[in-house]
A and B are shown apart, each in its own frame.
Chain A
Amino acid sequence: MDLARRTAERVARDSYGRLVAILSARTRDIASAEDALAEALLSALRTWPDRGVPANPDGWLLTAARNTMKNAARHDGVTRAALPDLLALRENASEDGPAFPDERLKLLFVCAHPAIDEGVRTPLMLQTILGLDAALIGAAFLVPPATMGQRLVRAKAKIRDAGLRFALPSLDEMSDRLAEVLDAVYAAYGAGWDAHDQPASSARGLTDEAIYLGRLIASLMPGQPEAAGLLALMLYCEARRDARRDASGAFVPLDRQDASLWRRDLIIEAEGLLTAASRFGQFGRYQCLAAIQSVHVQRPLTGRTHHDALLTLYRMLVERYPAIGARVGLAAVLVEAGRGREALRELDDLDQASVEDYQPYWVTRARALHAVCETGASRAALATAIDLTQDEPTRAFIRSLLNHSAPYAPG
């Protein structure tokens, strides 16, 4: 019974995005497609655990959604715009007929369309592809459920009313548009990762959802090395999850983590993805970030962190994508490589207004100052870092650095 229910839920989740994508492709009306599917899924979760998952779950759900929409149409006295699509699909698919074309990629590109507000792209993906509800998504992005619900409704109305194209971008647009899709997936992973620092948060599951999306995109776009790069990056981070806290919940920086707690299966998968991606010979941000992770996970094998490799990768990253995070990362590696003065120069070069509230900047600055024996200034920078840290175990970790002279690295 439990197994049947879990199977039902897993299949239902997979089918959800697939069917929303098919149902909304022509009408662009995501909300109506979702309403009909929600009903269909409810009856699936009621009947599948008892009767077993049908051979063609999509066909089953489509039939159920069609019935729901027929009833809705009868109630409204209006034929819903999506009904012809359902009928057409119904004719092409019996319960054990062939699988439908996977239209989820098109829906992903619509969700991350430049005409959609950047802040709602990730929530929109989580809802339309995975069926997550606004309350859970709101919790992950620290937005009240009602507000998140309104943003999602607004975004779907824009997609329908402004007539966004449900199609894959042309070749010359592909790399920019794909970057937007991948950024939205990575934002979901980041939100889930942050939530792991708050044990009670319901957003922790988002890391799994983001990896699910990452796998989906990588499998649907085997010719795009950046898709594989993003998936590899998330898997490397995921592999180290259990090693980030000790038994008391205290933060453990990367270079002090117990490597036996790292998940080898995920690391092996990530290494394979990154190797395959590199054969395309196209530099990309996510491949580069994944390669940096790859260097870090070599430590248990070689017994040391390969700082030269890290510096090369960070320099490549900073040259193409000079984001604050990457530049501070470069400075942190310089500190670890014993090049405190260079690290300070990198940090001084940053636009000071944009790093004011950026905690990693202050931690790295403190370490760089410490390395060049400017103890007073180092302590002041650490105090700023502590003020900017919400998470108690991490605050405790930073505080401990004040009385500590050994080198340390961020996790």
Chain B
Amino acid sequence: MQYMLLLNEPEAEFAKRNDPEQAPAYWGGWNAFIGAMAQAGIIVKGDGLQGPHTATTVKVRDGKRLVQDGPFADSKEQLGGYFVIEVPDLDTALDWAARAPSASYACVEVRPVLPPMAPPAG
């Protein structure tokens, strides 16, 4: 089965990305985690995302487009990246999620990916 690991980060961790003192340890941790998944051959796809300060939301109401600065929810943790992995079951996906650096200071949401839709009949 395929699972998406939604990797959330608090503001302080996003800040480490560009801090010359803290960036090496920050990226080192992520690279080790991603390297382990790559070694196990389970990565289907995945990316890190730029920080929440780059987020823009858009919605359409009554045909009118409303664009806003910022992420959709103003919460302490924001989506920092994702991976889709191919593993036999949820338990294995949770084992991998627990190894993400962010699991020890934020939380990782694990969701099964919808199986491909059947082609429309006719």
Contact = CB atoms under 8 A, between A and B. Distances in A.
Contact of A161 (B92, B93, B112): B112
Contacts of B92: 165
A165 B112 contact: no
The range of chain A's interface size is under 10
Contacts of A115: 90, 94
Interface string A156-187: 00000111110100000000000000000000
DSSP class of B's interface residues: helix, strand, loop or mixed?
Answer: mixed
B44 interface: no
SS of A interface (majority): loop
B25 interface: no
A162 B89 CA distance: 8
Contacts of A162: 90, 111-112
B108 to A, nearest CB: 13
Contacts of B3: 163
Interface in B1-39: 1, 3
B120 interface: no
A163 B88 CA distance: 8
B31 to A, nearest CB: 27
A161 to B, nearest CB: 6
Contacts of B112: 161-163
Interface string A104-119: 0000000000010000
A167 B89 CA distance: 11
Contacts of B90: 115, 162-165
B74 interface: no
B94 A163 contact: no
Nearest to B1: A163
Contacts of B62: none
Contacts of A165: 88-92
B44 to A, nearest CB: 15
Contacts of A161: 112
Nearest to A164: B90
Contacts of B89: 163-165
Contacts of A167: 91
A17 B23 CA distance: 54
Nearest to A28: B89
A163 B93 CA distance: 10
A164 B92 CA distance: 9
A120 B94 CA distance: 21
A169 to B, nearest CB: 9
A115 B92 CA distance: 12
A167 B94 CA distance: 15
Q: Which one of A115, A163, A164, A165 has the greatest number of beta carbons of chain B within 10 Å?
A: A163
Interface of B: 1, 3, 88-94, 111-112
5 A-B pairs with the lowest CB-CB distances in the bound complex, closest first: A165-B91, A165-B89, A163-B1, A163-B89, A163-B90
Interface of A: 115, 161-165, 167
15 contacts: A161-B112, A162-B111, A162-B112, A163-B1, A163-B89, A163-B90, A163-B93, A163-B112, A164-B89, A164-B90, A164-B91, A165-B88, A165-B89, A165-B90, A167-B91
